[in-house]
């Protein structure tokens, strides 16, 4: 696949990033390392919580989205990194083995004033469950190299 | 340690969350699973990049901050989860083995209108390097149970 540049991500561009699911073992393994709260590491505590079951750490959902974004978008592009994320929202619990899909949509695309060889892409990323509910949403800013001339 | 409730996190409360560092092996292991961009998984590609070395995935830094937040704050509290994060900023690259420290400060604390037994705490989290530069900053919202009466 040809390398994609800033010019390949205009406002309105969107892309399906594919599907994933998190098993109970994966949820607990991530959480033991990074977010060892009871509802993420202990199925019994999850059942007793307001969430009613073991649920994934929101950071696990975010990192899993990132993996699909790299596989589908950033990995074959002139990606130059990201200064950050706005409005990372965990809207619904993510439960073991539920099928999830991710999508990416460009909401703003402009060239950089400080680095004319870079462009700045603002995007909305979403993770959706089988009931078509958005379980996670974020707005990201990514830098991309501009397509070389000639 | 006694369980801490919403009332224990008033506006202005702050807490040092301790220190951590990410080895090159840890940086690459996390990134191979969640963020396999060249500057996170390949030291040679990192050196050739604008960053000049292997650098940690921003999601790895965020997840590592979360671990310290759970160990220092959420783990011994009536934490009820989080609806999300605002303004997650990766301000400086995180390089292998550099010593980092994390801190937490409450910027707003109010009771919930919809759930009178919960309080809502908005906080600023920061990760700082040995040159006292903030490498990551975020604003989080967390729900805490209110202290029971009697």
Q: pLDDT tens-digit profile of A33-67? A: 999 999 999 999 999 998 999 999 999 999 999 99
Q: In angstroms, how far is CA A83 from the centroid of its own chain? A: 15
For an interface test with A, which of B49, B57, B66, B125 has the most A Cβ atoms less than 10 Å from its Cβ? B66
Q: pLDDT tens-digit profile of A76-94? A: 999 988 999 999 999 999 9
Band of pLDDT at residue B18, cut at 50, 70 and 90: very high
Q: How many helices (H) and strands (E) does chain A have?
A: 4, 5
Is 0.90 topped by the overall pTM? yes
Q: pLDDT tens-digit profile of B114-131? A: 999 999 999 999 999 999
According to DSSP, the residues that pair with A109 across neighbouring strands are A121
Is residue A1 pLDDT above 90, yes or no? no
When CB atoms are compared, the residue of A33, A75, A89 closest to B83 is A89
What's the pLDDT at B123?
A: 98
Residue in chain B closest to A62 (alpha carbons) equals B59
**Is B86 in CB contact (< 8 Å) with chain A?**
yes
Collapsing DSSP to helix, strand or coil, B58 comes out as: helix
ipTM metric: 0.94
Contacts of B134 in chain A (CB under 8 A): none
Q: How is residue B116 written in tokens?
A: 């009178």
Is residue B6 pLDDT above 80, yes or no? yes
**Is B90 in CB contact (< 8 Å) with chain A?**
yes
Contacts of B57 in chain A (CB under 8 A): 66
What is the mean predicted confidence (pLDDT) over B82-106? 97
> Which H or E element spans position B107?
strand B100-111
Query: Which DSSP state fits A79?
Result: B
């Amino acid at each position: 696949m040809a390398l994609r540049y800033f010019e390949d991500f205009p406002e309105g561009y969107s892309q399906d990033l594919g599907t994933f699911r998190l098993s109970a073992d994966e949820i607990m393994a991530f959480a033991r390392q990074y977010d060892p709260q009871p509802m993420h590491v202990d199925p019994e505590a999850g059942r007793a919580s307001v969430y009613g079951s073991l649920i994934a750490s929101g950071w696990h959902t975010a990192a899993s989205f990132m993996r699909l974004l790299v596989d589908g978008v950033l990995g074959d592009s002139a990606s130059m990194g990201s200064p950050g994320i706005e409005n990372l929202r965990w809207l619904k619990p993510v439960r073991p083995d539920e099928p999830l899909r991710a999508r990416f949509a460009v909401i703003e695309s402009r060239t950089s004033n400080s680095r004319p060889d870079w462009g700045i892409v603002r995007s909305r990323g979403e993770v959706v469950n089988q009931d078509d509910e958005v379980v996670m949403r974020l707005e990201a800013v990514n830098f991309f190299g501009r397509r070389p001339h000639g």
